[in-house]
A and B are shown apart, each in its own frame.
Chain A
Amino acid sequence: MSPREITSEKLLQMYGRMFRIRQVEERLATVQAAGELPGPVHLYIGEEAIAVGVCAHLSDQDWICSTHRGHGHFLAKSDEIQKMVAEVYGRATGVCGGKGGSMHVADVSKGILGANGIVGGGIALAAGAALSAQTRGTRNVAVVFFGDGAANQGVLFEALNIAALWRLPLILVCENNGYSEFSPTASVTSGEIWNRATPFGVPGRPVDGNDVREVWAAAGEAIERARSGGGATLLEMRTYRLRGHVEAEKSFLSRSYRSDAEVEQRREREPLRLAMAALQGAGVTADAIAKVEEKERAAVRAAFEYAAESPWPAPGAAFEHMFA
């Protein structure tokens, strides 16, 4: 698949979804600083092209597993902005009844097996989901998003091994944003992450994770191969996190781990900016783009109003959904 195959309609649609995620995350940053959220939040700002470019190929019957930085994955795969924002607010109207919060947004009915507070925790779950899809004879796939830090968890190698042996319809999407929490990736990770697939005979490749067209093309090829029985792929999406590892981190870090100048410099190639340039290059009018942005802004504003006005879970709800 080539990035050139994307129609301008598809590109505008993906831009709109990236814009939606950015709006949600920026508002979450503000309400977090105002003390409205009950727990820590890890924002996806700067990485939107990955979730959107990958999930553009998936249906509700395909599975995704996500990370502690999971809002973008949820919003790329589901239209339920209100339920997700209400979950981050910890309200009863949230997608998990307000009991999961930011790091556990999940909706099985949409194929979202959930964000995950455990680093690398989604990798084995996705391998299991891929095995389920294969065993049931479907053409569905499982995608796992994980960070560069999680690439050093042993479970990645276990999953690659079994996915290669059984030709599982599994797409391993590493979001390499340059920092494993507060450590530069190169200081904790040896070699190239994409190349960790090679010894298992699984195709691996690096992708420009800030260019939604490149993500869309690489993911499309990997997902199509998985659907037709060709097995797993490891995609290393190279990106950059424009916010901290976690909001309010400056209040507890004794020194900073990157310079403001570096962040500003990386902003020049941030995904919304690149997608906007691509839209203009494809001849999409400023009017058409503004219309999409306004619609997304209104939907996000409404979702935050809904969340802030929603009730807290009843105390008795703490004892529900404890056992499967």
Chain B
Amino acid sequence: MIELKLGRIGMNMEEATIKAWHKAAGDSFRQGEPLYDIETEKVATEIAAPFDGKLLEIVANVDDSVDVGGVVCRVESVASPA
């Protein structure tokens, strides 16, 4: 099990609001596929999956505010080649 955390995508970003989920618990995803949308003070953007995997649990739901480094969801990775 791997926790995906909210990354800092802008130098001054401290938090973001989850605007949408593109996957539900139990869904599989491929690297680069949109997982969820966020909105910060400056941008609204999609967050892509960092690797191939499966979504186990959504921790931050739509309209939840998450601090940078906060856990957004729990996933498992499918056979990483490296």
Contact = CB atoms under 8 A, between A and B. Distances in A.
Contacts of A26: 82
Interface residues of A, number: 20
A252 interface: yes
Interface stretch (A30-38, A80-88, A182-190): A30-38
Most chain A beta-carbon neighbours within 10 Å: one of B7, B69, B82: B7
A248 B9 contact: yes
Interface in A11-29: 23, 26-27, 29
Contacts of A36: 5, 7
Given A23-B82, A27-B82, A252-B45, A34 B8 contact: no
Contacts of B51: 30, 34
A251 interface: yes
B40 to A, nearest CB: 9
Given A26-B82, A33-B48, A297-B82, A252 B10 contact: yes
B82 A34 contact: no
B4 to A, nearest CB: 5
B2 interface: yes
Interface string A191-203: 0000000000000
Most chain B beta-carbon neighbours within 10 Å: one of A23, A34, A40, A297: A34
Most chain B beta-carbon neighbours within 10 Å: one of A31, A33, A35: A35
Given A37-B7, A248-B9, 5 more contacts: A30-B51, A35-B72, A38-B8, A248-B7, A252-B9
